[in-house]
Structure 1
């Protein structure tokens, strides 16, 4: 099993985490860490919760969720929504994405969550197959052109 740690982003690791990049061609599916942090800062109503993903002492990815959003907040899916999952291109295909989801599921369950939502562009070469293999299922909803998926916890 691939082991990861979810680590707070600090002044000491911010540059290394922001330097993480997906593989060429994947940029249309997932925003950069820098853009994600900007979105978190400008969208407080989304209750952003984010962490760097570490394997040992090396940052290998980034994850961001909307965390326990109160019901009925306009424009925000929730209460728990996987807003961003980025695994650096050099580290893809090694189980880190699945390991991150395993950690997130444990945390959301511990917080009382019963489902985790996410969304993706419906392109065949996008992350949809990865999420479906993990157990996410389409809800039938579309949000801003993206297919919404649900993982029952």
Structure 2
């Protein structure tokens, strides 16, 4: 059995993190890791970026967001980004990473988490719905807002 873990992004692994790319047909649905890390850099109090490792091998990237004072309620706690490397999908890495974000949210006292997705043929919408997210009916900048009770 493999050991799935998360690692903080450091100067030693930032290059590896930035080299993670999703399947080509998914590129329009998720920002590249480098952009996510740039956003994390500008919002260090809220961003929670992590490298997803399988027995120490990088297989993806996840970033939670925790900003309990954000004026937009669906940006207070949730999954901000999820990039599972091309060829590595369908092995439970995404589920593991999302559950880790949920665990961190619970540790911080949150009872609800959100995520956003753009609908489409290769959208992550079905994945998020399988995990238990519900479409709230809210659309933010073309993205559907999903929520889940923790």
Task: Using structure 2 for the length normalisation, give the TM-score.
Answer: 0.91
What is the CA-CA distance between 1:133 and the residue it aligns to? 0.4
Superposed displacement of residue 15, structure 1:
1.0
What is the distance in 2 between the residues matched to 1:137 and 1:124?
Answer: 19
- Number of residue equivalences: 150
Q: Which residue in 2 is equivalent to 1:54?
A: 53
Alpha-carbon distance, 1:68 to partner:
3.3
Are positions 1:39 and 2:39 aligned together?
yes
* C-alpha contact (below 8 Å) 2:64/2:101 kept by paired residues: no
Q: What is the root-mean-square deviation of aligned Cα atoms in Å?
A: 1.9
SS of 2:24's equivalent in the other structure is coil
Q: Tell me what 2:92 maps to.
A: 95
Preserved CA contact (<8 Å) 2:45 2:67: no
Q: Deviations over 1:32-62 (max 9, x none)?
A: 11111112223x2871111111111111111
Change in CA separation of 1:2 and 1:82 when aligned onto 2, cut-off 3 Å = farther
Identify unmatched segments of 5+ residues in structure 2.
none
Does the 8 Å CA contact 1:21/1:87 hold for their aligned counterparts? Answer: yes
Q: CA deviation at 1:93?
A: 0.9
Partner of 1:84: 81
TM-superposition CA deviations, 1:123-151 (whole Å, max 9, x none): 13210000000000011110111000001
Runs of 4+ aligned structure 1 residues displaced above 6 Å come to none
